[in-house]
Amino acid sequence: MSVEGKGASPSVWRFARAKRAVLVIDAADYFEIAREAMLNARQNVFMIGWDFDTRIRLSGGRRWWNRKRRARYPARLGAFIIWLVKRRRTLSVSVLIWNFGALKFVLRGSMIADLLRWRANGRIEARLDGAHPVGCSHHQKILVIDDTLAACGGIDMTGERWDTTEHLDNDPRRGGPGAKTYGPWHDVSMLMEGEVATALADLGRERWKIASGEELPCCKPETESPWPARLKADFEDVEIGIARTRGKYRDIPEVREIEALFVEQIARAKHFVYAETQYFASRKIAEAIAKRLAEPDPPEFVLINPVTAHGWLEPIAMDGARVRLMHAVLEHDHAKRFHLFVPHAAGGTPIYVHAKLTIVDDEILRVGSANMNNRSMGLDSECDVFLDAARPANAHIGPCITTIRHRLLSEHCGVSPEEIAALIEQHGSMAAAIGAADDRERGKHKYLERFVLRPLSDHEKVLADSELLDPERPGETFEPMSKRGLFRRGGILRRPD
């Protein structure tokens, strides 16, 4: 059964066992695996997301790419769900979506028709989650099938997510609903089987009740697993931790497990921290890193970021905060152990990093929805899962985490995992290995390029320092600057000139 309280801490909600688990890299594989798992569902498919689009295709991006598959089952998610519940009379589908994100539905043409067809079916329910303080969002990305199989990570079932690990500069398959094209996109999710799925189902049902006031029934124990038959596990018989973020709302208390877990895991690092994250804008995480960098022999930090944030507000808030925090962190980096890289396709197109993944000393593997920004620490609803070799059940996982880290670096550098491993062994650090791979083959394959700190205008500095668009708690925007901001009083970071 799930373990709550025993071994838990302010940084962990629950520990639960998993029979199998696998890291799924990039949405092309994730959508295929999710489709195969849903085909095996018998009782309930529960999807929780920040965004959702019924028009996406679960195999490839564009319509013409899926014609051969349409004879077996519909390619579009909306039609596939209807076909699925008609095919299996015992099956229901539950979808929980952030209410503000749902405003996009009116611009998505056939999606309104899909939702009306779902509503008419009776065994498909969609609910909007607006149970948040003003300015907060429902940001979890979770899929649970029959309370037996679950996925948790950064991938929403929505448009402009599908891409392969090749991350081609121009991939004809990479087109969203309405034939909209987009650039290379990198993301990850963790697929897990066993009691950990039941725990994530409990989390989802709690969220469902908070959002709708309704109870979502539990599934009965199943003898057969929805795990796709072709899928090989990375881990077997392990214990997985679950951490959450939740902003205080009415009588629902604040939860900051994810923030505490980041600080705890950074403090624990002896050799290195490797992280893929959409943003680097969290004051608490930057302070935790700066504290380690100030030590006589600090660990190496390698962060993989996109070149810039998406949207019109996010680049102003997140990009400016990244520059300000990097300047402040680098003041403590006497040993030159902090490195931030941006991935590019072979032709030079920046690859957008939407993943939220952290590896510490090949002892901890962490995946979830939380970015390294303030919102993910105390405002938005988030969920991360992690494996830790310090847990007795996980003593065997280190070599597999090493393999995963080499796979990720090989994907970004365009060389084999074996070559990445050899370069790290030869040069003694990930950053040096990245540089060696880039120097030898630039222009022939994907590569990682160091992030270049750009000058900020005075307006950008003030906006970043204030945390106006990325506060740490609900209502904090209206507090005096002395009590909030990236460089608040009492913090280790000094405001750059």
Would the pLDDT of 225 be above 50? yes
What phi-psi label fits residue 82: left (phi over 0), alpha (psi between -120 and 50 degrees) or beta?
alpha
| Rounded-to-integer distance, Cα 357 and Cα 250, Å | 31
For the packed helices 417-427 and 430-441, what is the interaxial angle rounded to 10 degrees? Answer: 120
| Rounded-to-integer distance, Cα 409 and Cα 165, Å | 12
The CATH code for residues 239-483 is 3.30.870.10
| Rounded-to-integer distance, Cα 424 and Cα 441, Å | 16
Would the pLDDT of 418 be above 80? yes
62 or 285: which leads in pLDDT: 285
pLDDT for the residue numbered 8:
60
Q: What is the pLDDT of residues 137-150, one digit of tens each?
A: 889 999 999 999 99
Would the pLDDT of 4 be above 50? no
**% of the chain with per-residue pLDDT over 70:** 88
- Residue 432 tokens, joined: 């040096």
Q: What is the pLDDT of residues 352-370, one digit of tens each?
A: 999 999 999 999 999 999 9
| Rounded-to-integer distance, Cα 343 and Cα 120, Å | 45
Q: How confident is the model at residue 2 (pLDDT cuts 50, 70, 90)?
A: very low
373 and 469 in contact (C-beta within 8 Å)? no
| Rounded-to-integer distance, Cα 419 and Cα 438, Å | 12
Q: Report the chain's mean pLDDT, rounded to a whole number.
A: 89
Q: What is the pLDDT of residues 375-409, one digit of tens each?
A: 999 999 999 999 999 999 999 999 999 999 999 99
Q: Which helix (H) or strand (E) holds 399?
A: helix 398-413
442 or 381: which leads in pLDDT: 381
What is the pLDDT averaged over residues 249-269?
96
What is the pLDDT averaged over residues 33-49?
97
Instruction: Find the distance separating the first CA and the last CA of the chain, reported in whole Å.
Output: 54
- Residue 284 tokens, joined: 């608490």
pLDDT for the residue numbered 222:
83
pLDDT for the residue numbered 70:
47
Strands (E), 194-259: 235-246, 255-256
Would the pLDDT of 201 be above 90? yes
Would the pLDDT of 66 be above 60? no
Do the first three CATH levels of 21-236 and 239-483 match, i.e. the same topology?
A: yes
Would the pLDDT of 90 be above 80? yes
Beta strands 44-49 and 338-344 are: unpaired
Helices (H), 238-346: 257-268, 283-293, 314, 320-330
What is the pLDDT averaged over residues 51-66?
72
278 and 314 in contact (C-beta within 8 Å)? no
Domains of the chain, by residue range, sit at: 21-236, 239-483
Tell me which long-range contacts 103-109 makes (C-beta under 8 A, separation of at least 24): 104/51, 108/53, 108/54, 108/55, 108/177, 109/55, 109/177, 109/178
The CATH code for residues 21-236 is 3.30.870.10
313 or 130: which leads in pLDDT: 130
| Rounded-to-integer distance, Cα 257 and Cα 408, Å | 26
Name which of 49-63, 184-198, 476-490 the model is least confident about.
Answer: 476-490
pLDDT for the residue numbered 396:
97
Closest CA to 392 of 196, 237, 228: 237
| Rounded-to-integer distance, Cα 334 and Cα 420, Å | 26
| Rounded-to-integer distance, Cα 107 and Cα 118, Å | 18
Chain centre distance of CA 400: 20
3-state secondary structure of 346: coil
